[in-house]
């Protein structure tokens, strides 16, 4: 190939769990020839690093630009020989026994544990005749497509419920609960009209955000107080820095993620927390923050960080503390119902995923009589 020809480029986040590669990115061959993992049309790519390996990241490379792909160095590439159907090879690579055995063979420490290529080279799964492999692969193609279709529909329903929740929150905290209340222009494009008796001012005039405080894990004590990082509860400590209830914003890591904490807690350095509510209702503040695009306040694209000095000037609408409490209470009631539906749908998705995994393992290990 000429160095200027384009090829598919696949970072780790473009490798699907249990199949599929996103192939929208291409690069010139000369830019990726050194320093990246090479694979060709039809090859099987398997993630080698934790937790990607355990999560089933792996796929057959299909639809590559010019039949060639380069990607993250955290991939093992397997090419099927004449006696192995590549679809069957893919299915045995995502079966439970392969992933669990591989997990036990990982080397390295912490988040840098990996599967050595020797594990795959020495792996000896039971292989039926080629015709049987193809029959099993066709069976699993059909069955997993049906299961994945059901899962996709349920996830789409979760998305619609999330949109409904967001619409309920936005309506309540920007327009109030009384549809007949007199309105006035807010002077803010995204906000439009607000109830005439509400204030409109910068966030920093109503609350004060403060950066969390670092606390070393090696000095932790499994106490009763949660340490809240940007992603959520990280661990527990025997002391608390803040009295609950509290509202936190992911500062880096899960930048912009919101947390509401009922108990006393320790805000980690990866968060911003509301240090002063100044008489405002904490739960209302938490709901109000859901209406703001906090990620637009990121500084730095490689490691996005939410800066409190860019959030404080954000102008929004504020009812009285008493009305805030009424709005927050009503939202709690209305959102509890959708939350319960979310839990049921999430549980059914989990069961479908477990069934798919069990079906694949049973099929490729000869446990389904009609496929032998």
Sign of CA dihedral 123, 128, 129, 135: negative
Name the phi and psi angles at 131, rounded to 5.
Answer: -60, -40
Sign of CA dihedral 238, 282, 250, 254: positive
User: Of 48, 66, 56, nearest to 120 (Cα)?
Assistant: 48
User: What SS3 state is found at 62?
Assistant: coil
pLDDT for the residue 298: 57
pLDDT for the residue 328: 96
Name the phi and psi angles at 63, rounded to 5.
Answer: 80, 25
From residue 122, give the alpha-carbon distance in Å to each of 96, 119, 125, 370.
18, 5, 10, 29
Rounded CA-CA distance 321/366 in Å is 65
Fold topology of 160-336: Adenine-n6-DNA-methyltransferase TaqI; Chain A, domain 2 (3.90.220)
pLDDT for the residue 110: 67
CATH 3.90.220.20 assigned to domain 6-127? The reply is yes
pLDDT for the residue 135: 95
Q: What angle do CA 144, 145, 148 make, to 5 degrees?
A: 80
Q: What is the pLDDT of residues 299-334, one digit of tens each?
A: 555 567 888 888 899 999 999 999 999 999 999 999
From residue 10, give the alpha-carbon distance in Å to each of 30, 61, 63, 151.
15, 10, 12, 25
Contact 318, 280 (CB under 8 A): yes
pLDDT values of the chain reduced to their tens digit, one per residue, 372 residues: 999 999 999 999 999 988 889 999 999 999 999 999 999 999 999 999 998 999 889 999 999 999 999 999 999 999 999 999 999 999 999 998 899 999 999 998 766 899 999 999 998 888 999 999 999 999 999 999 999 999 999 999 999 999 999 999 999 999 999 999 999 999 888 899 999 999 999 999 999 999 998 876 655 667 788 889 888 888 888 888 999 899 999 998 888 899 999 999 999 999 999 999 999 999 999 999 999 888 765 555 556 788 888 889 999 999 999 999 999 999 999 999 888 899 999 999 999 999 999 999 999 998 988 887
Residue partners of 214: CB distance under 8 A and separation at least 6: 268, 269
- Where do the structural domains in the chain lie, given as residue ranges? 6-127, 160-336
- Structure tokens of 278? 């100044």
Sign of CA dihedral 23, 29, 35, 39: positive
Q: Kindly provide the residue ranges of all beta strands, DSSP E only, lying in the chain, ordered along the sequence.
A: 6-10, 26-28, 37-40, 44-47, 58-60, 68-71, 75-78, 183-185, 193-195, 199-202, 208-211, 225-229, 232-237, 246-250, 258-261, 266-267, 271-276, 315-318
Q: What is the pLDDT of residues 176-190, one digit of tens each?
A: 999 999 999 998 888
pLDDT for the residue 215: 76
Confidence (pTM): 0.77
6-127 with 160-336: one CATH topology?
A: yes
Rounded CA-CA distance 334/181 in Å is 21
Instruction: Give 246: exposed, middle or buried? Use CB within 10 Å, 0-12, 13-18, 19+.
Output: buried
User: What SS3 state is found at 17?
Assistant: strand
C-beta atoms surrounding 149 within 10 Å: 10
Rounded CA-CA distance 166/43 in Å is 42
């Amino acid at each position: 190939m000429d160095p200027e020809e384009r090829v598919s480029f696949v970072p780790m986040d473009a490798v699907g769990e249990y199949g599929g590669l996103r192939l929208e990115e291409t690069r010139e061959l000369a830019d990726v020839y050194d320093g990246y993992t090479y694979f060709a049309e039809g090859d099987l790519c398997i993630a080698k690093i934790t937790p990607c390996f355990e999560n089933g990241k792996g796929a057959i490379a299909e639809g590559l630009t010019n039949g060639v792909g380069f990607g993250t160095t955290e991939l093992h590439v397997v090419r099927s020989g004449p006696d192995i159907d590549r679809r069957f090879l893919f299915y045995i690579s995502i079966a439970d026994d392969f992933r669990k055995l591989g997990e036990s063979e990982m080397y390295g420490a912490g988040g840098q544990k990996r599967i050595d290529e020797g594990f795959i080279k020495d792996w000896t799964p039971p292989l039926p005749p080629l015709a049987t492999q193809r029959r099993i692969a066709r069976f699993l193609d059909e069955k997993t497509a049906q299961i994945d279709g059901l899962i996709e529909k349920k996830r789409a329903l979760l998305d619609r419920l999330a949109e409904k929740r967001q619409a309920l929150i936005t309506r309540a905290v920007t327009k109030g609960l009384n549809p007949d209340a007199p309105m006035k222009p807010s002077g803010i494009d995204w906000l439009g009209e607000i109830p005439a008796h509400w204030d409109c001012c910068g966030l920093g005039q109503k609350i004060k955000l403060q950066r969390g405080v670092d606390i070393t894990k090696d000095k932790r004590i499994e106490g009763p107080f949660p340490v809240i990082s940007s992603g959520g509860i990280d661990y527990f400590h025997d002391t608390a820095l803040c009295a609950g209830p509290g509202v936190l914003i992911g500062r880096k890591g899960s930048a912009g993620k919101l947390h509401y904490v009922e108990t006393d807690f320790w805000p980690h350095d990866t968060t911003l927390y509301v240090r002063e509510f100044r008489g405002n209702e904490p739960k209302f503040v938490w709901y109000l923050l859901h209406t703001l695009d906090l990620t637009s306040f990121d500084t730095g694209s490689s490691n996005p960080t939410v800066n409190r000095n860019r959030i404080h000037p954000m102008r929004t609408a504020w009812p009285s503390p008493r009305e805030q409490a009424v709005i927050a209470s009503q939202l709690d009631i209305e959102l509890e119902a959708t939350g319960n539906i979310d839990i049921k749908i999430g549980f059914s998705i989990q069961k479908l995923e477990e069934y798919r995994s069990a079906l694949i393992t049973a099929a490729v290990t000869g446990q389904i009589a009609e496929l032998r």
